[in-house]
Structure 1
Amino acid sequence: MKYLKLIILFLVLVKTSLAQNENRKFEHINQTDYGLEIFVNDGKYDIQFYTDHIVETTFIPKGEEVKRTSHAVVLRPQKVEVIPVVTNNESVFFTKGIEVKIQKQPFQIAYSYKGNPLISEKAGYIKNDSLETIQFNLTKDEVLYGGGARALGMNRRGNRLELYNKAHYGYETRSELMNFTLPIVLSSNKYMVHFDNAPIGFLDLDSKKDNTLTYETISGRKTYQVIVGDGWYDIINNYTKLTGKQPMPPRWTLGNFSSRFGYHSQEETEATISKFEAYKIPVDAIILDLYWFGKEVQGTMGNLEVFRDSFPDFEGMVSRLKGKGVKTITITEPFVLTTSKRWDEAVKKDVLAKDSLGNPYTYDFYFGNTGLIDIYKPKAAQWFWNIYKGLANKGVAGIWGDLGEPEVHPAELIHETGTANEVHNIYGHDWARLIHEGYKRDFPNRRPFVLMRAGYSGSQRYGLIPWSGDVNRTWGGLQSQPEIALQMGIQGLGYMHSDLGGFAGANLDDELYVRWLQYGVFQPIYRPHAQEDVPSEPVFRSDKARKLAKQSIKLRYKLLPYNYNLVYQNNQKGTPLMRPLFFEESNNQALQDYSETYLWGHDFLVSPILEAGKKEQSVYFPKTSNWFNFYTDEKIEGGQRKKIKTKENAIPTFVRAGAFIPMAKSMQNTEAYDAKDIEIHYYHHASVKESKRALYNDDGKTALAFEKGMYELIEFEAEIEKHYLEIGFEVEVGKNHQFNTKHIGLIIHNIQNKPRFIKVDGKRAPFSWNSKESTLNIPVIWTTSEEKEIKIKFKK
């Protein structure tokens, strides 16, 4: 009966939708195994269901062949139960989730979810002189997100966004075009539209203010998917089912990186790491920029081999660093300069993109006269991979792919599979695929680290880790970073991060530097990086800046188990590591364009300081919880905006009541991390009668460890019963993981009075209570093959 009521409600509501292209005339519908075929006078619509929550629509104009190849989608259409309801002028096809309505006259396609109208085609597909477009109706007040990495404000409605990956050097608070331009729209009405087509174009988010969404492209597929769900997390999970989940990167990816543009020699590289050791500042990786293959910035790109004058014992250096727990990462670019050592080889082996006459296409850009590797040629892809394989065999642990938009990509250049404009937006995506597939083939047990400046929808499945480009080293540059990372997270690329401290310009501002690094604790990758005029590494900054930066870096390492659990969640469900507050209160309009405060995982509320000299910060606390100040344990009731006094050594950070926060012991790098010896902080609050969390752990390096059964999943539970607080631990282990013994320091916050007694597994146990901090500390030794129960008896 409930299902029937939804059908009736839907049929009533869709009567209000606007008509489509009046010249398009309905002819007939066929129901297929996976969806529908709708024949109209100027072509055919092919509609396929992937699940009850994902439907794909393709228009095939008369005289054209359907283009089946998708660069984004990996899911296959499925047989979904579809109930047709047919009347004289419309046919509605119902699944358990999404519904598709075909209005016959005037012709229109509309989409709904569980009886709630979402979006409908307006003019639908139209071919103009220069562009092909697909047009949709929008409701008056819906907020729109998406379009990739931009600095525009969270609500991107009102902008016509170019879809052409392009670097923006030195941007600050506004950047309309950046390295990741994704053909994705998300609506505050809780649906997503993904335009599944690679060639360049535009995404018009109601720029004319006539309630119209328009996708514009030069050519290609007339295909889009509508993705729905019961909430934001559900929608992102469904989208990443469609386009692929992000593999888990190695655990060291969560550590601190030493990086700059750039280290000129082997001696300078090793001396820098020695500085980190001397100051006892944790570090897990060092990134070598252009100088590893040449002495000069210009004229050497494309050498792609070690410059022995500066790195005479490169292999020894990598080995020595590895012995200290520090990984080496090398930059690479897809350009081979005509002055480089490999130019003749690249021409001879025919690995470069061509001109119209079949010769290598050469052109000038900042680094010199160049050709571009045509990764779409199988022999060129193999040639490029062999270079990476050689570096991996030298001990290099990660790959940095720079300038992969590509930075300069003339329209006249021709690739094996199409023109420059047809493949431009997927070049970085397919470059990441090349590396991902190479590792899978030649190093199948190793998790790659792939840092890329450009990509496409679905790039997350190749392990691509994006960053926000050459941001200016100013407060304006910092201010745009939370928005960019939050936007990319909801579009499937959960590891978007920034060059901590800012990249462009010689601005020596210790306050800015420290605040950026404090923000970095609660964003996906901790990688200070900048032009070398002003050092990006804390070991070369002032005493005060270095000490404050060290506090942030040590906190980053302390949160390693919590952060690694976010990696697991992202791998399993596509869940972003950074999450906007409208995820928490989806109907709160004030939060729909708000990025200044966000969630780090489920349990941290973070409000970075984005202005100089700020003495207090206005923070909104979601009403879904009560909150604790992470540094003082002050209790704050949810559902209010509150002014928080700032501190020099930290940004405002809060923990959700009822949270279990796992923390690691101090370490110099993640090689020293021991999951058998950790702290578990529980934030007790009378309003939380029952609480559950889970903590994932594996060896941090084996590819597909979860799928291979090489993991443990620890479950924590807290329950308040009368005058007792009961806490339980249990573990699920994969088939190839062993039970073990853990030494856990259980710290319970907000315990106002000393307990009468504590029992662990039914026996009285020692504990310490700190009256000043209102914390309870219970040492627990736990053999994980058995459940552990801690029972705390309070005084009446």
Structure 2
Amino acid sequence: MSKLSFGQGAGNFVSFETGKGSIDIIGTKRVLRIQAFSPEIFKVQLLASRNAPSLDSSFSVILSPSTGALNVVETKDNIEIRTEKCTLAIDKFPLHVALKSGNAVKIKETRGFVQTKDSVSYTFNINPKDVFHGAGGRPFGPDLARKGFDFYNSWEYEYFDQSTGLSQSLNVSFIVSSHKYGLFFDSDRPGSMRMYVGAVDSTLLRVEAASNGKWAYYLIHGDNNDEIMASYTQLTGRQPLPPRWAFGYIQSKSGYKNDSDATVAITKLQDQGFPVDALALDQHWYGGTNVRGNMDWDTKNWPNATGMVKSLLDKGVKTILIADPYISTQSVNYKFAETQSLFAKKTKGNQTYILDIGTTKGGLLDIFKPAAQTWLWEKQKRLAIQGVAGWWSEKIEPDPHPMDAEHELGNAFQIHNLYALFWSKTFYNNFTKDFPEKRIFHMTRSGWAGSQRYGALPWSGDVSRYWAGLKLQIPILLQAGMSGFGYMHSDVGGAITMSDKAEKDEELDLRWFQFGTFTPILKVAGQRDNIEPFNLSEPFYSTVKKYATIRYQLLPYIYSLAWKNSVTGRPICLPMDYFNNLRALGNIDNQYFFGENLLVAPVLLHGMPSRKVVLPPGKWFNFWNNEVYNGNTNIFPKLTVDNIPVYARGGSFIPMSTSTTKKSTDYYNSDSLTVRFYQDISVPTSTFTMFHDDGVDPNSLAKLKYDLVEFGGKVSNDQVNVTVQRTKSFDKSLPKRHLTFEIKNVTSNPTTVTLNGQAIPVVYLSSEFKNNTAYYDLIGKQLKVQFDWDCSTTANIAVTRDGLDVITGSEPNVKDDVLTVFPNPTRSPISVKVTVPETGLYELEVYNVAGVLVYKDALGQHSKGKVLDLNLDLRVSSGAYLVRLRNVNGQVFTKKIVIQ
């Protein structure tokens, strides 16, 4: 950077000329060209003249510019481009661009857009109170304010410290501000770029790039994060929907050395009841790193690979193979690739650039060369024909990549960041052409703006197997999502076991797996021998197995989040300020949203007895026991081995698969669902849309071959209404589904429950719960209704209750130690202890769940503090009851009991 020469901006205003959807503003030094791509997206370029070469095509941008006439308003001091959404204002003296909403300036150039033959720089005024997200998969933040970082894809081995996050494998030159705008930098030769987001001056955002390419930046307006992400992914492309099996459990290892190792692992997992969808094979499948680039099975250790792949498929398990862009000099493919000139070259002459690649030497495929793309894909296509279902591409930063190497597209330093984009493009374009009936599965360690549209599923690289490494996964996950990459995930358990780290750390394995359950992709991988969960001891074994099952139960919810990402660009995992633009939420780095309706707070330290959880505004329900919490506060739940803190948003619906015995997603079809509705009076209306298709067809979205099922809730003091209707169907839509609704937080006894207008029985014992009945759990404050739903109709559940403040509800502001029933559940006669709270007359009553008095005893006058030990002989049937203590001053104390 110190050697760069920085020129001047556009200077002062001279004149302007409008075109189709564009305006050229001629300055005393250069020309500003501004194009509208939508009412909320503007592209800004600095040109030497109107006829100078411009960035009129892009490797990252696929949206075409608008051709409609711009609404241009000129005043003495500025030029404004006005749309119904926002205004782009250009000061005349000197020429500086600003994005405005109404009269408020969101972001504004200060020194302007400055470019020379070898560099480009930008400086903007920003609000020092803003929160910034994005910029790729970065281990710090998730607020980027006050930070400086590079955009040059690089591989970092054994990382565990956020201070190493200047540059990462996944760099994306796009950021999102809490001031409600996005800023994207684009170039055909991105070179090496550095960004300072208020790092030197809190009021300035500065960008410097060593680049000889053409540059532009895009200003994106939005009223919220959803609008900004929708515009950015419209500009650079949206993630195609992965195959449904991608959301199951993926088992990997570094590595399974032969077919016996691999198949035994899968057999043991399935025999012990673990659902599993894929097996990912590391370098041993082709013979190890010394023959990197063989791209074929090592027949010595995999003598019947095709048969193995088929056998696994018959069990519902897909095979994923690792790939990378290097070919070792010892590979059977090296001589051919060199003869065909498929490698990156030395600057002078036409010699292959020989590189040190781990334990061997070799060449780097020139992925920009069509011949190299064709040759690479032919090798991979043959494997796909054998039944291989997915790829796992590493080292595509690429690393190593000498800056003086030459590619068909140009010098390595200038086009380095584009390599991963072209690699993903090669796989995607060829796969979709040759296998038009399948969806691509392609995990990549690196990417660039636009890689998401080629199906890249990034993982967080070679994280060290430390608790510190686990903690970094949350900001990486969130930053990538806010950069258009919704599928960032990590190697569960950690990729690299450091020399000072014991291989066995079952608590770390458990906590990482629990975290991974609530991420877009769940993959266990890394350098350790006993990596599979069946090697764990109790209680870790049973708990990991429980979470694997929960993962598959959540498929309807997770798959719906994937659909939302593909059609809107909304990330699957979201920062805490995504829905509430509050600065206090913006830099929380240890919890996140998993979709809009679940808040996940993983356990990130060894032996934690409790952890802080920040609850945003609203009502929040403990996912595991339905306890209700007011939001806009901090809570400190106690931690157990069994669970990590997970909370459901008040008013939310969580559809879950009822079956817990399916061994892979091949056996899933959403025909039997349990739908949790976390109703609360504070959320009068709410909806959730569930997506379902065949899980395979890559054109299901384009050809509208899918189901949309909408769950709706309306809540008032005396009634809860739930509806379910299919708003979209296709030729493979299910005619019927078995539904069980779990309506949470029903604190008062339902007086009537109707299903589609017809009253249905309310039962109070779980053993009596069956189709077309309602089961009220007094202790759990939950109502269940199950029925077979004709999907062509709208089903309605109406629950009438006796208001919120009835005797079966929780009484406010009472001491919990006044009335004690023990044990609970109990048998008649029951033991009751009363600690008299105030001097006075008392009586004790017992009601059933229908509100009928079944027992009453006048206890008489008693002094404050006196303890009464009572035995009540209740001649009633088993079920739930309410014990009520009342005095003449109007104080009421209640206790719910179950009599067995």
TM category (shorter chain) comes to over 0.9
Stretch moving more, 741-750 or 461-470:
741-750
Q: Residues 23-102 of structure 1 correspond to what in structure 2 (within 5 A)?
A: 24-62=11-49, 64-80=52-68, 82-102=70-90
1:733 aligns with 2:728: yes
What's the CA shift for 1:773?
1.7
Q: CA deviation at 1:210?
A: 5.8
For the 8 Å contact 1:149–1:180, the answer to whether it is kept is yes
- CA deviations on 1:558-614 (whole Å, 9 max, x unpaired) are 11100000000000101111111111320x221121122211101111111111111
Secondary structure (helix, strand or coil) at the match of 2:611 reads strand
- For 2:520, the equivalent position in structure 1 comes to 524
Cα deviation per residue 1:257-315 (whole Å; 9 max; x = unaligned)? 11111110001100000110121111110000000000x43x11011111000000000
Q: Contact 1:147–1:161 at 8 Å: present in 2 too?
A: no
Residue 247 of structure 1 and its aligned partner are, at CA, apart by: 0.5
- Residues of 2 paired with 1:264 and 1:543: CA distance? 28
Aligned counterparts, 1:565-580, within 5 A: 565-580=560-575
1: CA distance, partners of 2:136 / 2:448: 8
Do residues 789 (structure 1) and 796 (structure 2) align?
yes
Counterpart contact for 2:126–2:203, Cα < 8 Å: yes
Structure 2: how far apart are the matches of 1:491 and 1:530? 26
**Which of 602, 610, 616 is the matching residue for 1:608?**
602
1:130: how far off?
A: 5.2
Query: Within 2, Cα distance between the matches of 1:200 and 1:758?
Result: 65
The answer for the alignment partner of 1:552 in structure 2 is 547
Judged with a 3 Å threshold, the aligned counterparts in structure 2 of structure 1 residues 168 and 591 are, in CA distance, closer, same or farther, namely: same
Q: TM-score, normalised by structure 2?
A: 0.83
Q: Which moved more, 1:153-162 or 1:436-445?
A: 153-162
Distance 1:29 1:416 in 2: 38
Partner of 1:714: 709
Q: 1:544 to 1:553 in 2, by over 3 A?
A: same
Are residues 1:379 and 2:381 paired?
Answer: no
Given that residues 147 and 203 in structure 1 are in contact (C-alpha distance below 8 angstroms), is that contact kept between their aligned partners in structure 2?
no
Paired residue secondary structure (1:364): strand
The residue correspondences of 1:244-259 to structure 2 (distance < 5 A) are 244-259=237-252
Map of 1:393 onto structure 2: 385
- Kept in 1, the 8 Å contact 2:355–2:400? The answer is no
Distance 1:706 1:615, change over 3 A: same
Distance 1:67 1:79 in 2: 17
2: CA distance, partners of 1:143 / 1:729: 38
Partner of 1:179: 169
Look up the SS of the partner of 2:60 in the other structure: coil
Shift of 1:616: 1.1
Determine the C-alpha separation between the residues in 1 that align with 2:142 and 2:336: 47
- Give the secondary structure class of the aligned counterpart of 1:386: helix
Counterparts of 1:621 and 1:543, CA distance in 2: 32
Paired with 1:688 and 1:140, the residues of 2 have a C-alpha distance of 34
Aligned to 1:494: 486
* Partners of 2:672 and 2:738 within 8 A in 1: yes
Residue in 1 that maps onto 2:273: 280
Instruction: Indicate whether 1:444 and 2:444 are aligned.
Output: no
The answer to whether the 8 A contact 1:739-1:785 is kept is no
Q: Does residue 772 of the first structure (1) align with residue 779 of the second (2)? A: yes
| Alignment match, 1:317 | 308
Q: What amino acid sits opposite 1:390 in the alignment?
A: R
* Deviation for aligned residue 1:722: 5.5
CA distance in 1, matches of 2:75, 2:730: 55
Deviation readout 1:676-714 (Å, 9 max, x if unpaired): 111111112222222211111001111021222221100
Aligned position for 2:112: 124
Identify if the C-alpha distance between structure 1 residues 278 and 80 changes in structure 2 by more than 3 Å, giving closer, same or farther: same
User: Which one of 506, 511, 515 corresponds to residue 507 of structure 2?
Assistant: 511
CA distance in 1 between partners of 2:642 and 2:667 (Å)? 26
SS where residue 562 of structure 1 aligns?
helix
The equivalent residue for 2:829 is: none
Matching residue of 2:207: 215
What per-residue deviation string (whole Å, max 9, x for no partner) do you get for residues 94-141 of structure 1? 111231222222332222123321112222233468532122222333
Matched, 1:590 2:584: yes
User: Bigger radius of gyration, 1 or 2?
Assistant: 2
CA contact (8 A) 1:151 1:176 kept: no
In 2: Cα distance, 1:265 partner to 1:369 partner = 25
Which deviates further from its counterpart, 724-733 or 128-137? 128-137
Aligned residue for 2:818?
A: none
Aligned length in residues? 772
Bigger Cα displacement from structure 2, 140-149 vs 248-257: 140-149
The 2-side partners of 1:60 and 1:273 are apart by 59
- Quote the residue 2:532 is aligned against: 537
User: How far apart are residue 732 of structure 1 and its match?
Assistant: 2.1
Deviations 1:370-417 (A, max 9, x none): 111111111111111111111110000001111100010011211111
- Secondary structure of 2:539's counterpart equals helix
Offset at 1:785? 1.0
Partner of 2:814: none
Q: 1:138 to 1:720 in 2, by over 3 A?
A: closer
Match of residue 143 from structure 1: 131
1:680 paired residue among 659, 675, 678: 675
Cα distance between partner residues in 2 of 1:243 and 1:129: 26
Whole-Å separation in 2 of the counterparts to 1:113 and 1:80: 21
Which position in structure 1 is the counterpart of 2:828? none
1:512-536 CA deviation, whole Å, 9 max, x = no partner? 111111111111110111113x533
Quick one: distance in 2 between partners of 1:81 and 1:127?
29
| 2:322 maps to 1:331 | yes
Which of 238, 243, 256 matches 1:263?
256
Larger RCO (CA under 8 A, 6+ residues apart): 1
TM-score by length of 1: 0.94
Does 1:461 pair with 2:453?
yes
Aligned match of 1:599: 593
Does the Cα contact within 8 Å between 1:626 and 1:635 map onto a contact in 2? yes
Q: Does 1:308 align with 2:299?
A: yes
Q: Which amino acid aligns with 1:553?
A: A
Gaps of 5+ in 2: 1-6, 761-772, 804-900
Could you tell me how far apart the structure 2 residues matched to 1:272 and 1:668 are? 14
CA offset at residue 81 of structure 1? 5.6
Give the secondary-structure state (helix, strand or coil) at the position aligned to 1:480: helix
Equivalent residue for 2:752, pick from 757, 761, 779: 757
Partner-residue secondary structure (3-state), 1:756: strand
Is 1:353 equivalent to 2:344 in the alignment? Answer: yes
Match of 2:684 in 1: 689
SS where residue 460 of structure 1 aligns? helix
| RMSD of aligned Cα (Å) | 1.8
Counterpart-to-counterpart distance in 1, 2:10 and 2:558: 54
- State the partner residue of 2:880: none
Report the equivalent of 1:9. Answer: none
Task: Report whether the alignment pairs 1:188 with 2:195.
Answer: no
Quick one: distance in 2 between partners of 1:392 and 1:597? 38
1:45-74, Cα deviation, whole Å (9 max, x unpaired): 211000111000011125952232211111
Q: Secondary structure of 1:679's match?
A: strand
Is contact 2:9–2:112 with CA below 8 Å preserved after alignment? Answer: no
Structure 1: 5+ residue runs without aligned partners? 1-19
Greater mean deviation of Cα atoms: 693-702 or 181-190? 181-190
Moved more, 605-614 or 723-732: 723-732
Cα distance per residue 1:735-789 (max 9 Å; x no partner): 5344511111122122234423322122233222222222222111111111111
Query: Aligned ranges for residues 642-661 of structure 1 at < 5 Å?
Result: 642-661=635-654
Give the match for residue 95 of structure 2. Answer: 107
CA–CA distance in 1 between the matches of 2:86 and 2:737? 47
